[in-house]
């Protein structure tokens, strides 16, 4: 049995980099693999790929393409806001599996350029988020814990759910990925 103090010490040693960049890269690698399955399934069955690409769970939801764009924007925005990389604009023009995969690869490349030392020193950095009706100021740690990670996983999960809802045979193992690799090379 692990002593509680040892567990707390281990948790305290997690850095801002540790809880963001590897998690984003892993999720993107898994999402890229899921999109490849969707594309292969569409080709094998003669299904119009737009059935997947334009899928929504409700009329007021964004489609699959936008879910992936928002996941990309959230991961990219996290490392930009915390000062680890310079911002790069990605227009939301993806309309095919290949374009979505390219978006994931561009995002993964940007994440790999993130400076771990600059991210690790960002837990107290001020982050302002401007919304339609208000501006919220976070410290870096709260921004990651209460906005960046939840928002990122909302969009990745929604993308998974849209494809599953449309009949793609995927499961939890596809979403989580192989458990024997701590980080995957999304878009490689």
Q: Where are the domains of the chain?
A: 21-176
Distance in angstroms (rounded) separating the CA atoms of residues 92 and 103: 9
Structure tokens of 78? 């996290």
CATH number of 21-176: 1.20.120.450
Hey, what's the torsion of the CAs at 100, 53, 36, 154, to 10 degrees? 70
Distance between CA atoms of residues 147 and 152, nearest Å: 8
Summarised one tens digit per residue, pLDDT across range 53-105 is: 999 999 999 999 999 999 999 999 999 999 988 999 999 999 999 999 999 99
Report the SS3 class of residue 179: coil
pLDDT at 31: 98
Q: What φ, ψ does residue 132 adopt, rounded to 5°?
A: -55, -45
Give tens-digit pLDDT for 33-52: 999 999 999 999 999 999 99
């Amino acid at each position: 049995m692990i002593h509680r103090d040892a567990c707390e010490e281990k948790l305290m040693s997690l850095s801002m980099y540790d809880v963001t960049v590897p998690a984003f890269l892993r999720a993107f690698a898994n999402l890229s693999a899921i999109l490849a399955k969707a594309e292969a399934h569409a080709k094998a069955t003669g299904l119009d790929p737009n059935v997947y690409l334009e899928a929504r769970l409700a009329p007021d939801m964004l489609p699959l393409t936008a879910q992936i764009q928002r996941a990309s924007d959230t991961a990219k925005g996290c490392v930009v806001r915390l000062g680890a990389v310079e911002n790069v604009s990605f227009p939301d023009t993806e309309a095919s599996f290949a374009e979505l995969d390219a978006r994931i690869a561009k995002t993964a490349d940007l994440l790999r350029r993130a400076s771990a030392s600059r991210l690790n020193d960002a837990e107290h950095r001020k982050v302002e988020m401007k919304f339609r009706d208000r501006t919220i100021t976070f410290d870096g740690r709260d921004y990651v814990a209460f906005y960046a990670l939840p928002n990122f996983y909302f969009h990745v999960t929604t993308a998974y759910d849209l494809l599953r809802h449309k009949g793609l045979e995927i499961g939890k193992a596809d979403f989580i990925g192989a458990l024997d690799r701590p980080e995957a090379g999304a878009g490689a």
